[in-house]
């Protein structure tokens, strides 16, 4: 079980299921897996199911036709669905990347040529964040949502969440689809979810923290915004225990990776809850009955050896609106050794987005690696880590790191700066110049903060 207040929670089974009830069938709170029939399925049988679902997808692409993917099949010389017998033949089909979706929408606005159903058969729409160009549009039918809800529920159940718990989150809403997806999944699973606004301002953060002193969540997990809430609670002198903010840490299983995080999402536009960690082995168990997840060498289209980094490539299965050979342009590694938890799926590690890789002084690293080093320094971590890095040009110049320090004691500030230089040299082998800033200098964000900035 993850951090949760010892107090009020007694596990309950899922609420009764039947006519007039919105939610899944009842199951016992004591069972280890949410859906053992699928999660502990015989791997040979699961591969047959995948092959069958791949064939269904290819048939739909060609018969519909779904133009973007039909063109990819044509490029591979595939005219008859029977030419793709299953997972083993997928490598023949060219990859599709985000820019393909963007181009498709631009040439045939607004939906583009990659929908499997008329958009009006869907019930929900979301857009991507648009950090790298015009946001693309995703639509979900009720079946597509059900697959995500079931998948998300497998993840939270594995991590010890149970119906009857009070959870909270601060995901963005409206056109961004991630917040309503998480809220919907929590409700579907039978938990009481307190959805507070993203803490874009101190006032919004305060509203949430004060509410949690009235109704205190059992699981105080706010994702990217956690540091903001801790900071504002500190400013207001609200004891962290009163708001249920004690014992906050990353969910179970994080940090077990071989240099990577568990692969938990393939993005809202592809597969929001593609897998989750069990805490017993590195990586995240992948929901293979609903996706073929591959670590691909984009030059050959074939999978890299197990345990090595390749392009995270997902083919969704059994959905109304799917994606075929979607390359997220992120690093992924797959592990296939059996896991003792009883789940029989492959496990995935996530190594970050390729476009977020920083290169300087002959080294390439993820921002998260640098952040982990900064987080190891107490003076920088408390009350919350606030930093920015000037985007390096790949040359030999020192990397410029700006970081806030709470103390005003000049000796302690210098010491924190020196430690930062030494620790980054040791961990990443790079030379940095550290600028120590007073608190509240770097702009705060309610969701994902801007950490890499252009040089001044
Ligand atoms: Zn496991």
CA of 151 to the centre of ligand 1 (A): 15
DSSP state of 311: E
CA of 400 to the centre of ligand 1 (A): 40
Sequence-distant contacts of 23-26: CB under 8 A, at least 24 apart:
23/187, 23/188, 23/189, 23/190, 24/149, 24/150, 24/153, 24/188, 24/189, 24/190
What's the whole-number mean pLDDT along residues 232-249?
Answer: 84
CA of 4 to the centre of ligand 1 (A): 22
CA of 365 to the centre of ligand 1 (A): 28
Tokens of 200: 């874009």
CA of 347 to the centre of ligand 1 (A): 8
Entry pTM:
0.88
CA 177, CA 139: separation in Å to the nearest integer? 9
pLDDT of residue 425: 94
Read off the pLDDT of residues 105-125 as tens digits, 9 standing for 90 and up: 999 999 999 999 999 999 999
CA of 271 to the centre of ligand 1 (A): 20
CA of 277 to the centre of ligand 1 (A): 7
CA of 107 to the centre of ligand 1 (A): 44
pLDDT of residue 19: 74
212 and 243 in contact (C-beta within 8 Å)?
yes
What's the whole-number mean pLDDT along residues 15-30?
Answer: 79
- Are β-strands 326-335 and 192-195 bridged in parallel, bridged antiparallel, or unpaired? unpaired
CA of 344 to the centre of ligand 1 (A): 8
Read off the pLDDT of residues 25-68 as tens digits, 9 standing for 90 and up: 888 889 999 999 999 999 999 999 999 999 999 999 999 999 99
Q: Range with the lowest mean pLDDT among 181-195, 229-243, 354-368?
A: 354-368
pLDDT of residue 2: 41
- Are β-strands 137-140 and 124-127 bridged in parallel, bridged antiparallel, or unpaired? antiparallel
What's the whole-number mean pLDDT along residues 435-455?
Answer: 89
DSSP state of 121: G
Task: Show me where the domains of the chain are located.
Answer: 160-243, 261-354, 361-453
CA of 295 to the centre of ligand 1 (A): 20
CA of 25 to the centre of ligand 1 (A): 24
Read off the pLDDT of residues 383-411 as tens digits, 9 standing for 90 and up: 889 999 999 998 999 999 999 999 989 99
Q: Candidates 3.40.228.10, 3.30.70.260, 3.30.300.30, 3.40.50.1820; correct CATH number of 361-453?
A: 3.30.300.30
pLDDT of residue 245: 84
CA 378, CA 209: separation in Å to the nearest integer? 24
pLDDT of residue 13: 62
CATH class entry, domain 261-354: mainly beta
CA of 371 to the centre of ligand 1 (A): 28
User: Please, which pLDDT band fits residue 449 given cuts at 50, 70 and 90?
Assistant: confident
CA of 115 to the centre of ligand 1 (A): 34
pLDDT of residue 11: 61
CA of 337 to the centre of ligand 1 (A): 10
| Percent residues over pLDDT 70 in the chain | 93
User: Please, which pLDDT band fits residue 15 given cuts at 50, 70 and 90?
Assistant: low
Residue-by-residue DSSP string for 51-65: HHHHHHHHHHHHHTT
pLDDT of residue 252: 34
CA 245, CA 209: separation in Å to the nearest integer? 9
CA of 300 to the centre of ligand 1 (A): 31
CA of 105 to the centre of ligand 1 (A): 39
CA of 38 to the centre of ligand 1 (A): 14
CA of 348 to the centre of ligand 1 (A): 11
CA of 283 to the centre of ligand 1 (A): 9
Q: Which residue has the higher pLDDT, 23 or 140?
A: 140
The answer on pLDDT for 249 being more than 70 is no
What's the whole-number mean pLDDT along residues 245-264?
Answer: 58
CA of 280 to the centre of ligand 1 (A): 5
The answer on pLDDT for 251 being more than 50 is no
CA of 322 to the centre of ligand 1 (A): 27
Read off the pLDDT of residues 125-137 as tens digits, 9 standing for 90 and up: 999 876 667 899 9
CA of 316 to the centre of ligand 1 (A): 22
Nearest alpha-carbon partner for 259 in 371, 404, 337, 368: 368
The answer on pLDDT for 253 being more than 50 is no
């Amino acid at each position: 079980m993850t951090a949760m207040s010892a107090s009020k929670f007694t596990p309950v089974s899922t609420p009764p299921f039947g006519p007039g009830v919105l939610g899944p069938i009842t199951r016992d709170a004591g069972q280890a897996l949410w859906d053992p029939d699928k999660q502990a399925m015989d791997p040979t049988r699961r591969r047959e199911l995948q092959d069958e679902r791949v064939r269904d997808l290819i048939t739909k692409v060609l018969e519909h036709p779904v133009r973007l993917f039909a063109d990819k099949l044509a490029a591979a010389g595939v005219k008859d669905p029977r030419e793709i017998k299953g997972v083993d033949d997928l490598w023949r089909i060219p990859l599709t990347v985000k820019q393909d979706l963007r181009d498709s929408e631009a040439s045939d606005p607004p939906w583009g040529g990659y929908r499997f159903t008329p958009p009006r058969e869907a019930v929900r729409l979301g857009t991507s964040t648009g950090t790298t160009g015009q946001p693309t549009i995703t639509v979900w039918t009720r079946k597509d949502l059900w697959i995500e809800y079931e998948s998300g529920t497998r993840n939270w159940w594995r991590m010890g969440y149970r119906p009857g718990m009070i959870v909270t989150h601060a995901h963005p809403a409206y056109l961004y689809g991630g917040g309503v997806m998480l809220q919907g999944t929590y409700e579907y699973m039978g938990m009481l979810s307190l959805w507070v606004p993203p803490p874009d301002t101190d006032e919004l953060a305060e509203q949430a923290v004060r509410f949690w002193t009235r109704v205190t969540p059992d699981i105080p997990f706010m994702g990217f915004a956690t540091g903001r809430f801790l900071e504002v609670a500190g400013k207001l002198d609200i004891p962290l225990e009163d708001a249920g903010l004690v014992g906050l840490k990353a969910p179970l299983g994080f940090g077990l990776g071989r240099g990577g995080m568990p692969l938990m999402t393939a993005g809202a536009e592809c597969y929001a809850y593609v897998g989750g960690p069990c805490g017993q082995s590195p990586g995240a168990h992948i929901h293979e009955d609903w996706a073929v997840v591959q670590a691909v060498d984009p030059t050959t289209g074939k999978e890299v050896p197990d345990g090595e980094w390749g392009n995270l490539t997902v083919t969704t299965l059994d959905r109304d609106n799917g994606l075929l050979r979607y390359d997220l342009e992120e690093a992924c590694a797959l592990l296939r050794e059996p896991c003792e938890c009883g789940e029989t799926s492959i496990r995935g590690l996530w190594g970050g987005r390729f476009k977020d890789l920083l290169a300087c002084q002959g080294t390439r690293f993820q921002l998260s690696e640098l952040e982990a080093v900064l987080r190891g320094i107490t003076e920088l971590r408390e009350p919350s880590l606030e930093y920015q890095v000037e985007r390096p040009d790949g040359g030999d110049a020192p990397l410029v790191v700006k970081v806030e320090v709470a103390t005003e004691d000049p000796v302690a500030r210098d010491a924190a700066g020196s430690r930062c230089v030494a620790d980054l040299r040791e961990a990443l082998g790079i030379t940095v110049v550290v600028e120590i800033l007073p608190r509240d200098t770097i702009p705060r964000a309610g969701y994902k903060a801007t950490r890499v900035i252009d040089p001044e």
